[in-house]
Structure 1
Amino acid sequence: MKPLDRILLVDDDAVTNMMHRRVIERSGRVLTVDVATDGQEALDILRSDLAAERCLPELIFLDINMPGMGGFEFLEHYAQLDLQSDVQLIIVMLSTFLLRSDHDRAEADPNVYGFCDKPLKLEKLLEIVSDFQNRRYAKRPAA
């Protein structure tokens, strides 16, 4: 299958970003990996892409807990972006420990595809990329 063009990692931890970038690059399933260290930087990247009429990342791995703008605040602002209805983008929430309240809150957001424990494992990445490429999902997998 053709690799994804871009993934955006959004995490405030440099070591985590380095590890996740390595997993993604070794998978051979993604051409470009961009990194943002908080939600605001991620929004700035997306807004810049929209303004320049560049393709958006096809997949965003979003940490829940970050200083500055965290994952949930990012989702609130993301929902306000002027995205075309044909944009296919997956947001996967990342966390080392997911509280039930965080899970419920993320699950209620129509822009969240799913959840992934940190650190990102190759098998999980390949599953998500395959789901994206096969278009086997709407907004999130059926329960």
Structure 2
Amino acid sequence: MIKLDSCCIIDDDEFFSFNTKKLMKENGFCDNILQYTDGQKAIDGLIGLLIENIPLPEVILLDLNMPNKNGWEFLEEFSGIPMNQRLGVKIYIVSSFVSPDNLAKAKTYDMVEQYIMKPFTVTSLDKITVTKKAS
């Protein structure tokens, strides 16, 4: 498994975020893990990184159903960040609900790499590793 410099979890489910963070650390996937509970906090935090000249996380795990700013709204705003600043960032939608409409909509965003079903497991980490190696 490759090790990432940084990644980000955007999900209002504290249980999911805690377990995913633990899974990542236990498997040597990533040590520097940012965590946000909604899309607005995430956008604010990521733009703050750019202002400080800190690279964005290589991988973002994004839930769709969240308060304040949901995953789709986050993607819209994230798309507005200049390409050269978000180059190399791969977003993985992580959801417990999958629908043909959501899958089709996810494919319209070039930065969305894959749609992964919850629960998040070592196999989920392997899917991310495989797509990171290929890019």
**For residue 25 of structure 2, what is the aligned residue in structure 1?**
25
Q: 1:65 to 1:104 in 2, by over 3 A?
A: same
Percent of counterpart pairs with the same letter?
Answer: 28
Q: 1:51 to 1:39 in 2, by over 3 A?
A: same
Q: Quick one: distance in 2 between partners of 1:55 and 1:86?
A: 8
Q: In the TM superposition, what is the alpha-carbon distance from 1:131 to its structure 2 partner?
A: 2.6
> Which consecutive aligned stretches of 4+ in structure 1 deviate over 3 angstroms post-superposition?
none
Q: Give the AA of the match of 2:111.
A: N
Q: Give the AA of the match of 1:114.
A: Q
How many pairs align? 135
Structure number with higher helix proportion = 2
Alignment of 1:1-143 (within 5 A): 3-84=3-84, 87-132=87-132, 134=133, 136-137=134-135
- Whether contact under 8 Å (1:6, 1:32) holds in the other structure is yes
Query: RMSD of the alignment, in Å?
Result: 1.6
> With structure 1 as the length reference, what TM-score do the two structures score?
0.88
Q: 1:6 to 1:100 in 2, by over 3 A?
A: same
Q: In the TM superposition, what is the alpha-carbon distance from 1:85 to its structure 2 partner?
A: 6.4
Deviations 1:95-124 (A, max 9, x none): 101121111111121121111111211122
Specify every segment of 5 or more residues in structure 2 that has no aligned partner in the other structure, as ranges.
none
Deviations 1:71-93 (A, max 9, x none): 00000000001241682110000
> With structure 2 as the length reference, what TM-score do the two structures score?
0.92
Q: Quick one: distance in 1 between partners of 2:120 and 2:126?
A: 10
Q: 1:2 to 1:111 in 2, by over 3 A?
A: closer
Report the secondary structure of 2:98's partner residue. Answer: coil
